[in-house]
A and B are shown apart, each in its own frame.
Chain A
Amino acid sequence: MLSSLQAGSKGEYIYDRTFRHQVLPRSVTRTLRIDDDVDEALEKMARERGESVNAIAAGALRKLVEWDRLAANAGLVVVSPVTLGRLMDSQTVEQARALGEFVGKEVWKPIIVSRYGEVTLDSVLKSIELIGRYMGRFNFIYSTDGAKRVVTIRHSGGIKWSAFYQGAAIPLFSGTLGIDIKQTMTEELASIEFETPENFVRGA
């Protein structure tokens, strides 16, 4: 069963059921002094996209506080997806999986701790959604049915990127949380299945 599906900015993802009854966030007004050229660029973008300037600015400022600082601290850099694809082409599937394990341990795990303070199932799931949303590489889908849980990463990078994402999940789910996982992958999907008690937070 897919429960509590919410539309994300870059596709679909599912938050945990505990988010179902959350109230709308409180908002405040804030007056800022904006450079003329930036303000004009925001106006132009709003016209072209059929959105309000406020909606665009609010999204940009949320990205600042949720991601930009974290990305800089974690040593993330920006690259063209075509160049990245060419570099990954030189890897075998097994090498791609090993690279994923390295990144899961050395980059994703520190990001989780930095953002949420500790590695729990909840913080891992929230972080994968955050990484997918802002790193621009994949959509995150999380579904539950009783104790059974399925985490799926959907992307367009091909089988080596599926292997990479599977590798990245290993140090988080198996390594840190101590969960037995079953993995499957296709050209566009990397899925892991596992079972945990309903109130599971972290492994022993």
Chain B
Amino acid sequence: MKQSRARTFRLEADVDDSIARLAREDRVSVSHLANRALRRYVEWDRAPTTEGFVSVPSMLLVKLMTELSEERAHELGKWAGKQLFLPNMKAGYATLSLENAENNMRMLGDYGRRFTFEHADEEGMHVFTIGQKMGRNWSAYYAGSLESIFEGFLGKAVKVILSDNMCVVQFKGRAPP
């Protein structure tokens, strides 16, 4: 169980009232709700590797990606994996490792809200699954990203399965620590 401590804050009354209302609606304690928001703020909103990221309507991303071919979406994903994800992971964790890649992807999924993410390790067969609802080209984009991420520091090819809502990447063997 996580250790916690009590801290007293001075808040504007309207913010305090609104947090109390949201906590009632969610049937959680004010501390629980505030803690979650503060965690998001330090881990994501103001983290050095993600500060400057922007919020956009998912509908806009769907429309923008629809203009590209599947191959172009895949290429864009490869570029993003190599030029954005890997350098960001190194900046955030210092080391490129499977565990750090998994943490980074989980955070992108949880806080970025573009996809859900799962990792299974079945006797040395790693399976990374990204679920999303923005169409096949986005699956191709994530496939390209995962390929360049894992090929980037594993140094070997990975197997990719695509569908309209899902992208699955598999590779066998022990990844570098």
Contact = CB atoms under 8 A, between A and B. Distances in A.
Contact of B111 (A39, A69, A78, A81): A78
Q: How large is the interface on A (under 10, 10 to 19, 20 to 34, 35 or more residues)?
A: 35 or more
Contacts of A54: 9-10
Interface stretch (B53-61, B97-105, B119-127, B157-165): B53-61
A77 B40 contact: no
B71 to A, nearest CB: 13
- Majority DSSP secondary structure for residues of B touching A: helix
B20 to A, nearest CB: 9
A79 B53 CA distance: 6
B41 interface: yes
A59 B40 CA distance: 12
Contact of A65 (B10, B22, B56, B59): B22
A149 interface: no
Contacts of B106: none
Contacts of B55: 71, 76-78, 134-136
B177 to A, nearest CB: 23
A15 B3 CA distance: 43
Interface string B15-43: 11011001000000011011101111111
Contacts of B43: 41
Interface stretch (B62-70, B148-156, B167-175): B62-70
A30 B30 contact: yes
- Majority DSSP secondary structure for residues of A touching B: helix
B114 A26 contact: no
Interface in A49-78: 53-54, 56-65, 68-69, 71-72, 74-78
Contacts of B67: 90-91, 95
A103 B57 contact: yes
Contact of B11 (A36, A58, A72, A107): A58
Contacts of B19: 30, 61, 64-65
A27 B56 contact: no
A69 B11 CA distance: 19
Given A25-B13, A27-B13, A33-B4, A81 B57 contact: no
Given A32-B8, A63-B37, 15 more contacts: A25-B14, A30-B9, A30-B16, A32-B9, A36-B4, A61-B9, A64-B22, A75-B59, A76-B113, A77-B58, A78-B114, A86-B76, A103-B57, A107-B59, A136-B54
